């Protein structure tokens, strides 16, 4: 990794540490020990947006997405067991922690978004397909406090407040609806148009 990449990783960790709720979710998530888990997408990038724009670190964050990958049992019952365990771990926090098994996404994606989704081979593959490349970020912390960051498109757009479409999977209307909602809360964002 180059010097700029290392600097951005340090800046990301410093920004995320300012959101005490996010760091508490990270600490508690490690206890759940879900396979391939990350705290991902909105709660991560929106914390950075808040720090960059001088807002309170948890401003505008609707939920904290905790994603994991377990293809040993694709039943709703197995995913619901993880959600129930999470409710016990996160239930006293003033935040919604949404737990989702990315190995199951292909089972419901088309009925919700109108396009088919092939099964993902990993959590990282799922993160790769988030609707904006800016949101293709996941972080986790080991029980020992060591951070792992997955950001296949880098972090420059996150810190520069640029929202860039990722037409890998999500339809245009999903990207545009989310981008509009984000820009209402963070008007400083530069939303790049969907390219055909």
- Scanning the chain, the segments in alpha helix (DSSP H) are 3-17, 20-32, 42-53, 76-90, 105-113, 123-128, 156-159, 172-185
Is 51 a member of any domain?
A: yes
**pLDDT tens, N- to C-terminus, the chain (196 residues):** 567 767 888 899 999 999 999 999 999 998 898 999 999 989 999 999 999 999 999 999 999 999 999 999 999 999 999 999 999 999 999 999 999 999 999 999 889 888 888 999 999 999 999 999 999 999 998 767 788 999 999 999 999 999 999 988 878 888 999 999 999 999 999 999 998 6
Structure tokens at 40: 């991902």
Is 66 a member of any domain?
A: yes
Predicted TM-score (pTM) of the model is: 0.92
Q: What's residue 147's pLDDT?
A: 86
Is 187 a member of any domain?
A: yes
Q: How many domains, in total, are found in the chain?
A: 1
Rounded alpha-carbon distances, angstroms, from residue 32 to 21, 68, 78? 17, 11, 14
DSSP string, 22-64: HHHHHHHHHHH--TT-EEETHHHHHHHHHHHHT--TTTT---E
Is 32 a member of any domain?
A: yes
Is 196 a member of any domain?
A: no
Q: Is 188 helix (H, G, I), strand (E, B) or coil?
A: coil
Domain residues for the domain of 135 are: 3-191
Is 26 a member of any domain?
A: yes
Is 79 a member of any domain?
A: yes
């Amino acid at each position: 990794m180059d010097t700029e990449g290392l600097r951005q990783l340090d800046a990301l960790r410093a920004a995320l540490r300012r959101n005490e709720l996010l760091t508490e979710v990270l600490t508690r998530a490690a206890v759940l020990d879900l396979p391939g888990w990350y705290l991902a997408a909105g709660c991560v990038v929106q914390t950075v947006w808040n720090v960059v724009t001088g807002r309170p670190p948890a401003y505008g964050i609707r939920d904290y997405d905790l994603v994991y990958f377990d293809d040993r049992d694709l039943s709703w019952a197995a995913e619901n067991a993880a959600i129930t365990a999470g409710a016990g771990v996160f239930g006293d926090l003033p935040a919604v922690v949404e737990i989702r098994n990315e190995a199951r996404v292909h089972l419901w994606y088309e009925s919700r978004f109108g396009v088919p989704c092939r099964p993902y081979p990993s959590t990282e593959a799922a993160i790769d397909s988030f609707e904006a490349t800016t949101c293709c970020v996941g972080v986790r912390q080991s029980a020992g406090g060591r951070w792992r960051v997955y950001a296949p498109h880098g972090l420059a757009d996150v810190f520069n407040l640029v929202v860039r479409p990722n037409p890998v999977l999500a339809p245009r209307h999903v990207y545009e609806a989310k981008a509009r909602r984000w820009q209402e809360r963070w008007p400083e964002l530069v939303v790049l148009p969907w390219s055909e």
